[in-house]
């Protein structure tokens, strides 16, 4: 199995449970800029109830969604910029697949949750050199002045699985300084101060940010 195909498997369960993928041009090195809107696309975003322990992201996305991504309202997003990779045609006929996915939830009060996943892997594969595999990510949130920001994320090698041993696990919560949120632009960047790396979200990662106590 190719390395990029492995990265798609990391996120496969989340795609089934939380939504599909957006089309785009082939540009795997573009930064991700995603706006979370106030538009509710469903008020019945139910907890995940099935189990596929052979996939490492199952360890992360089930408790992330069921325990920590608060709210049953799933919000629409607008992808202002997204990295994509040329891929074999899927059932819609597209050959370009996004390497960053964002899924947002709201508890109908003052808590917003954003799941950010990377389908990119580092190194040389698929005819390209992806370097360290990090991707710059900026979230535009529908709030200002969050009282608190917490991060949950998967810990482990994205190329590993939990078939033989539990080598990938959930890490968190980690408190992120609210000052990392830019009130003027309503922007939140994934970087070294917010739990990511110097170049953004690490390869094959699944992150959940929970913003509490903000104002619209």
The string of pLDDT tens digits covering residues 68-78 is 888 889 999 99
- Taking 70 as the pLDDT cut, the residues of the chain under it are 1-25, 46-63, 88-95
Residue 64: give the domain boundaries.
3-20+30-212
In a domain, 187, yes or no: yes
In a domain, 25, yes or no: no
CATH number of the domain residue 14 falls in: 2.60.40.1180
In a domain, 147, yes or no: yes
In a domain, 39, yes or no: yes
How confident is the model at residue 62, as a pLDDT?
63
pTM score, two decimals?
Answer: 0.82
In a domain, 84, yes or no: yes
Distances (CA, A) of 110 to 49, 63, 70, 116, 164: 26, 21, 10, 20, 41
How confident is the model at residue 82, as a pLDDT?
94
Domain count, the chain: 1
How confident is the model at residue 55, as a pLDDT?
44
How confident is the model at residue 40, as a pLDDT?
95
In a domain, 134, yes or no: yes
How confident is the model at residue 189, as a pLDDT?
98
How confident is the model at residue 126, as a pLDDT?
79
């Amino acid at each position: 199995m190719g390395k990029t195909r492995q990265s798609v498997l990391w996120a496969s369960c989340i795609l089934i449970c939380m939504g599909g993928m957006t089309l785009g041009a082939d540009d795997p090195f573009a930064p991700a800029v995603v706006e979370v809107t106030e538009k509710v696309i469903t008020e019945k975003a139910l907890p995940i109830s099935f189990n596929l322990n052979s996939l490492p992201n199952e360890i992360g996305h089930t408790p992330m969604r069921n325990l920590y991504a608060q709210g049953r309202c799933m919000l629409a997003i607008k992808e202002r910029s997204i990295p994509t990779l040329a891929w074999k045609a899927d059932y819609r006929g597209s050959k370009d697949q996004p390497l960053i996915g964002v899924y947002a939830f709201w508890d109908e009060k003052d808590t917003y949750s954003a799941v950010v996943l990377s389908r990119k892997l580092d190194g040389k594969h698929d005819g390209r050199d992806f370097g360290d595999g990090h991707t710059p990510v900026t979230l535009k949130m529908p709030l200002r002045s969050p009282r608190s920001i917490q991060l949950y994320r998967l810990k482990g090698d994205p190329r590993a699985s939990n078939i033989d041993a539990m080598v990938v696990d959930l890490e968190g919560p980690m408190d992120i300084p609210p000052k990392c949120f830019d009130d003027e632009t309503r922007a939140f960047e994934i970087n070294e101060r917010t739990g990511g790396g110097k170049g953004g979200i690490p390869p094959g990662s699944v992150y959940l940010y929970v913003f509490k106590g903000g104002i619209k």
